[in-house]
């Protein structure tokens, strides 16, 4: 099965290794034992290059693709069909290709929720304030799903840049939450300017690439954590980010991005194997934590 990873600056991706491991777990019973997954990193320098790839991909033998930054929103505009979650968030991370058709799915939010329920089952996200750092494609992909599952009291979107695309993305998130969950308050704030965080525990959710291997660090924008906080970082490389280290140092509950990577990838692979999505994880508890251990060794 030929699958692509569409994105930019993918030199640190461990997705090819992850999907080969997942194939050993998930493919039996769905394809012949001889069939393997061919997972091809496909760097695209522009949205036009992404559009051109999608026109020719099925003819080149591709069955599907994963989509990562900065093209999840671009691909959501190019698909012929999309799942309800992908359509609502205007974000696609999984493509299923057939003759004349490209269906888009979004497994990021579900993947993060599944990882959270495994690793922090009593995390207490409901009814508290959340600060989401970044309001771009990564935030669009996960925030609504988390709000659906945990119903916070208040969500603050800390916008990192003042670009038109960032403002439009933030506006989409706000409208999505307000339309579906009118009891949840939503506000916008500038990145790094949030001062009145109060004394109660809150969720800090990093949806930016800050702290990723080879990217900039937090510097003066690093949040101030307290023991009752929960810190979630979507960055998985390195495993121990500056954000997670700072939160853990005061006793806060923490979750890095590796678990989300595993769960969203498993959900994607299930779609390619069965042509169907699912609401639960295709992985057992043992398989999930074994994969975390295997991938962690690649990232050290």
Range of the domain at 72: 2-106+261-299
Are residues 248 and 121 both part of a single domain? Answer: yes
Task: Tell me what pLDDT residue 230 has.
Answer: 97
Is 110 in a helix, a strand, or coil? Answer: helix
H/E run at residue 145:
helix 137-150
Are residues 123 and 236 both part of a single domain? Answer: yes
Are residues 17 and 145 both part of a single domain? Answer: no
Structure tokens at 105: 């799915």
Task: Tell me what pLDDT residue 164 has.
Answer: 79
Is 260 in a helix, a strand, or coil? Answer: helix
The candidate with the shortest Cα–Cα distance to 94, out of 278, 288, 269, 274, is 269
Task: Tell me what pLDDT residue 136 has.
Answer: 86
Task: Tell me what pLDDT residue 52 has.
Answer: 97
> In this structure, is the dihedral angle defined by the CA atoms of residues 139, 3, 27 and 295, taken in order, positive or negative?
negative
Tell me whether strands 154-159 and 101-105 are parallel, antiparallel or unpaired: unpaired
Are residues 114 and 252 both part of a single domain? Answer: yes
What is the maximum span of the chain, computed from C-alpha positions, in angstroms?
Answer: 59
Are residues 115 and 156 both part of a single domain? Answer: yes
Per-residue DSSP letter, 158: E
The CATH number given to whatever domain includes residue 249 is 3.40.50.720
Interhelix angle 258-274/108-119, nearest 10 degrees:
130
CB 3 within 8 A of CB 62: yes
Are residues 124 and 145 both part of a single domain? Answer: yes
Are residues 118 and 216 both part of a single domain? Answer: yes
Cα three-residue angle 72-119-151, rounded to 5 degrees: 65
Q: What is the mean pLDDT of each run of 10 residues along the chain (300 residues)?
A: 96 94 98 97 97 96 96 96 95 95 97 97 94 91 96 92 81 94 92 68 95 89 94 95 97 98 98 97 98 92
Are residues 43 and 79 both part of a single domain? Answer: yes
Are residues 100 and 238 both part of a single domain? Answer: no
Are residues 100 and 114 both part of a single domain? Answer: no
CB 92 within 8 A of CB 78: no
192: left (phi over 0), alpha (psi -120 to 50) or beta: left
Task: Tell me what pLDDT residue 193 has.
Answer: 58
The CATH number given to whatever domain includes residue 24 is 3.40.50.10860
What is the number of structural domains in the chain? 2
Are residues 150 and 165 both part of a single domain? Answer: yes
Assessment of whether the complete model's pTM goes beyond 0.85: yes
Task: Tell me what pLDDT residue 292 has.
Answer: 97
Are residues 144 and 158 both part of a single domain? Answer: yes
């Amino acid at each position: 099965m030929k699958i692509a990873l569409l994105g930019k600056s993918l030199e640190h991706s461990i997705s090819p290794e992850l999907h080969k491991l997942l194939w050993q777990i998930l493919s039996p019973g769905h394809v012949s034992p001889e069939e393997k997954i061919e997972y091809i990193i496909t760097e695209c320098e522009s949205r036009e290059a992404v559009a051109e790839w999608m026109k020719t991909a099925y003819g080149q033998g591709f069955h599907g693709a994963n989509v990562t930054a900065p093209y999840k929103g671009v691909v959501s505009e190019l698909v012929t069909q999309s799942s309800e979650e992908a359509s609502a968030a205007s974000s696609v991370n999984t493509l299923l290709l057939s003759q004349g058709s490209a269906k888009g799915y979004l497994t990021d939010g579900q993947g993060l929720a599944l990882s959270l329920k495994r690793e922090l089952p009593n995390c207490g996200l409901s009814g508290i304030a959340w600060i989401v750092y970044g309001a771009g494609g990564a935030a669009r992909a996960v925030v609504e799903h988390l709000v659906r599952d945990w119903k916070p009291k208040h969500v603050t979107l800390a916008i990192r840049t003042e670009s038109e695309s960032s403002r439009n993305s933030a506006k989409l998130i706000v409208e999505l939450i307000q339309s579906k969950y009118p009891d949840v308050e939503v506000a916008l704030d500038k990145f790094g300017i949030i001062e009145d965080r109060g004394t109660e525990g809150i969720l800090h959710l990093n949806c930016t690439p800050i702290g990723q291997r080879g990217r900039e660090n937090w510097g003066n924008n690093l949040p101030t954590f307290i023991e009752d906080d929960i810190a979630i970082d979507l960055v998985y490389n390195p495993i121990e980010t500056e954000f997670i280290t700072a939160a853990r140092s005061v006793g806060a509950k923490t979750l890095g991005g590796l678990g989300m990577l595993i769960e969203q990838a498993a959900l994607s692979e299930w779609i390619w194997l069965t042509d169907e999505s699912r609401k639960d994880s295709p992985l057992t508890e043992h398989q999930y934590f074994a994969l975390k251990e295997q991938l962690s060794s690649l990232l050290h």
